[in-house]
Structure 1
């Protein structure tokens, strides 16, 4: 699937435009005039070294970080739902919280201790089924493997159904079965015209699955289709250049 093919399919997700995005924390420059576009309905990967500003850029998109420059979402109609899947889940593994409890806490306004509301029960069940966790709904979150917890995080990102998905290294803890689940979800999202902005370290997966890729190390070092941009020379430049000397950012 090429980026051009993606653009010809009707989409529900927005075009994202980063124009001259700058982020400074104290005297440390985290993002330096970052400018690129994410095409609507595309799978757009963001790659780069640790400390290069990828997660910080995501946080600016989600409204969690102050910045200079222009960041715009151009929706095809009314503004839609933005889903977010974090890189990892930090919690007290001794808590008696089941998968259902976690999904209730993340996806509904009703207190989790009252159980799943009828309004969300069907959607939560369907989301867990999509990630292969339907049969582990009563397991404690602390008893799950890292890959299983990551699948649960993917499931919560599906409720309510998003038109824009922001993924922060979703493959980092997945086992082989989980990776197959994730790749199937990517295909589904592409077919549905959902815009996906995806931080990823697995360059082989990016080369196979992304429509476009941006290399970020404080500033944009390349932006284009994977087969054109993921060359040994460009990757060497991306990962061998120190993003800054007086600080770091994820």
Structure 2
């Protein structure tokens, strides 16, 4: 396992889906071992940048990871929401087993993973609900389970897609504790978040993304009201201009 997390370089990344331009010439540096937040309007390309990093969508340009050790480390991904059939008889423990072992879920969690899974669920306050059906959990509880699965095995790079969106106050406190743990362990965290106050408090670095990088710098100094207004209003101007062209019959 690598010691600490990797640095990430996005160099001239373009992404087009169909005829829609999603990302344009994204140039971005993420420091190894830092908590780096991405903020921007819905549809601005933040989740698509994650997908490009994970190799899930084709893109132009280059994305490179610089691992501090000789071998790549462990990458964990926490999606914004979990899509599944709420009627499935899958418990929290079943879900955790499906995420960390090849053994079929119906055979139960292997002895190897018993202690790590229990510890991860304990960290997010979900151990007492380990045998509850996933479909019976609240949105915030499911989000905690998603955070727990990111802890097994211990990650070196964590990708978080709006992890606070469904959390209650207690869940937010747990998330902040996890961020502190990752920072102390020099884990690289790339974090999509809409709560700008949380970003200002908790992130080391922030980048404003609306198809392209509009600003980039230390979180506490960079998230000024003027920059935030520019970030969100620039997307609105593009949408308004596109609608105006459509109204005029302009392609």
Short-chain TM bin: over 0.9
Gaps of 5+ in 2: 244-251
Greater relative contact order (Cα 8 A, min sep 6): structure 1 or 2?
1
C-alpha deviation, 1:242, in angstroms: 2.0
C-alpha deviation, 1:213, in angstroms: 0.2
Aligned length in residues: 238
User: Which structure's CA Rg is the greater one?
Assistant: 2
- Residue 92 of structure 2 is matched in structure 1 by 99
Secondary structure of 2:180 counterpart: helix
CA–CA distance in structure 1, aligned partners of residues 220 and 139 of structure 2: 31
CA–CA distance in structure 2, aligned partners of residues 49 and 229 of structure 1: 17
Runs of 4+ with >3 A deviation: 243-247
Residue among 127, 133, 143 paired with 1:140: 133
CA–CA distance in structure 2, aligned partners of residues 91 and 28 of structure 1: 28
Native 8 Å contact 1:84 1:166 kept in 2: yes
Q: 1:12 to 1:115 in 2, by over 3 A?
A: same
CA–CA distance in structure 1, aligned partners of residues 220 and 129 of structure 2: 39
Native 8 Å contact 2:201 2:220 kept in 1: no
C-alpha deviation, 1:117, in angstroms: 0.6
TM-align CA RMSD: 1.5
Is 1:49 matched up with 2:44? no
Give the alignment of 1:1-250 within 5 angstroms: 12-77=4-69, 78-242=71-235, 245=239
CA–CA distance in structure 2, aligned partners of residues 126 and 89 of structure 1: 22
Native 8 Å contact 2:208 2:214 kept in 1: yes
CA–CA distance in structure 2, aligned partners of residues 39 and 115 of structure 1: 39
Secondary structure of 1:241 counterpart: helix
Secondary structure of 1:51 counterpart: coil
CA–CA distance in structure 2, aligned partners of residues 75 and 187 of structure 1: 21
Secondary structure of 2:235 counterpart: coil
Gaps of 5+ in 1: 1-9
What's the TM-score once normalised by structure 1's chain length? 0.92
Secondary structure of 1:55 counterpart: helix
C-alpha deviation, 1:27, in angstroms: 2.1
CA–CA distance in structure 1, aligned partners of residues 132 and 220 of structure 2: 42
Native 8 Å contact 1:39 1:195 kept in 2: yes
